[in-house]
Amino acid sequence: MTCFDLRDKIVWLTGASSGIGEALTRELVKRGAKVAITARRAEALEVLRAQVAGSGDSVRCFAGDVEDLSQMKKIVDSIESTFGEIDLAIPNAGTHIFTVPESFNSEEYLGLMRVNFGGMLHCIEAVLPRMLARGRGYIAPVASLAGYRGLPRAAAYGASKAAMIHFLESIRFHLKPKGITISIVNPGFVKTPLTDKNDFKMPFLVDASRAARIICRGIKRQKREIAFPFPFSWVLKVARILPAPVYERIVNKCW
């Protein structure tokens, strides 16, 4: 397998204003990449840019909302005309809500879908035609181990991440022969503002900078799936193939 050297690569990263995206920005720059960062909060992006790049040119801010396809297209246009051709896109923007069917509200589910799944689709739609025209490109969206199988209170979040995984596994068949690499990033629990809201003890919690190092190592190796942390990812991989009654008994006991 050939190695994807991040040095001097142009990376477009969404969800960079906090958590995993913020840590990834720092790690990517450390590895020599030039990073175009996107999120809705322009000021937070600018603070990060100043911290990481100072007066240098390794980070540039392109604020926008991933729910808006036209904004994503404009952002890709301006990255490519002012910074350079995008070698690697990391659609990472996402959010989380706990859901219970007792207070079922389809709009809540669809709202989460629009950010997590729809946001990723918009980023891919904005960047893919250019990558296809060049016959090369790399897309590494951040999904989640929560997309493997149904978990309590995660019906909306898990469904959005399962949709991402399924979609990416499917398009890989078409895109690989056209020179486009797809890595699916599936983290377990990472300490970020998103998980700081969780009201339960998170098993195998890792900090965001460690997550960023693992993701960059996986990208360097162009892994099909970057699932971590081990052994949590393997526990959930095995759980995927358990018969439903056994899976339910275990989850009811542990979760």
Ligand X SMILES: NC(=O)c1ccc[n+]([C@@H]2O[C@H](COP(=O)([O-])OP(=O)(O)OC[C@H]3O[C@@H](n4cnc5c(N)ncnc54)[C@H](OP(=O)(O)O)[C@@H]3O)[C@@H](O)[C@H]2O)c1
Q: Is 94 in the site for ligand X (CB under 6 A)?
A: yes
195 binding ligand X? (CB under 6 A)? yes
- Residue 39 as a binder of ligand X (CB under 6 A): the answer is yes
Strands (E), 51-210: 59-61, 88-90, 137-139, 180-182, 184-187, 190-191, 206-207
Does 142 bind ligand X (CB under 6 A)? Our answer is yes
Our finding on whether 99 is near ligand X (CB under 6 A) is no
Our finding on whether 93 is near ligand X (CB under 6 A) is: yes
Cα distance between residue 216 and residue 140, in whole Å: 10
**Minimum Å distance from CB 189 to ligand X?**
4
Burial class (CB in 10 A: 0-12, 13-18, 19+), 208: buried
Which residue of 4, 19, 27, 61 would you call a contact of ligand X, by CB under 6 A? 19
- Site track 205-224 with ligand X (rule: CB under 6 A), x = hit: --------------------
Is residue 150 within a helix (H) or strand (E), and if so which, with residue range? none
* CA atoms of 6 and 42, how far apart (whole Å): 25
Counting contacts by CB under 6 A, is residue 233 touching ligand X?
no
List beta partners, residue 182.
139
Is-catalytic flag, 157?
yes
CB 33 within 8 A of CB 11: yes
Answer yes or no whether residue 115 interacts with ligand X by CB under 6 A: yes
CA atoms within 13 A on the CB side of 112: 20
Q: Which residue's CB is nearer to ligand X, number 132 or number 235?
A: 235
User: Quick one: which of 65, 80, 108, 225 contacts ligand X (CB under 6 A)?
Assistant: 65
In this structure, are residues 190 and 206 in contact, taking their beta carbons and an 8 Å threshold?
A: yes
Say whether residue 46 binds ligand X (CB under 6 A).
no
Given the residues 138, 148, 157, 247, select the one marked as catalytic. Answer: 157
Total chain residues near ligand X (CB under 6 A): 31
**Interatomic CA distance for residues 128 and 71, integer angstroms:** 15
State the residues that interact with ligand X by CB under 6 A: 14-21, 39-41, 44, 65-67, 92-96, 115, 119, 142, 144, 187, 189-190, 192-195
Residues noted as catalytic: 157
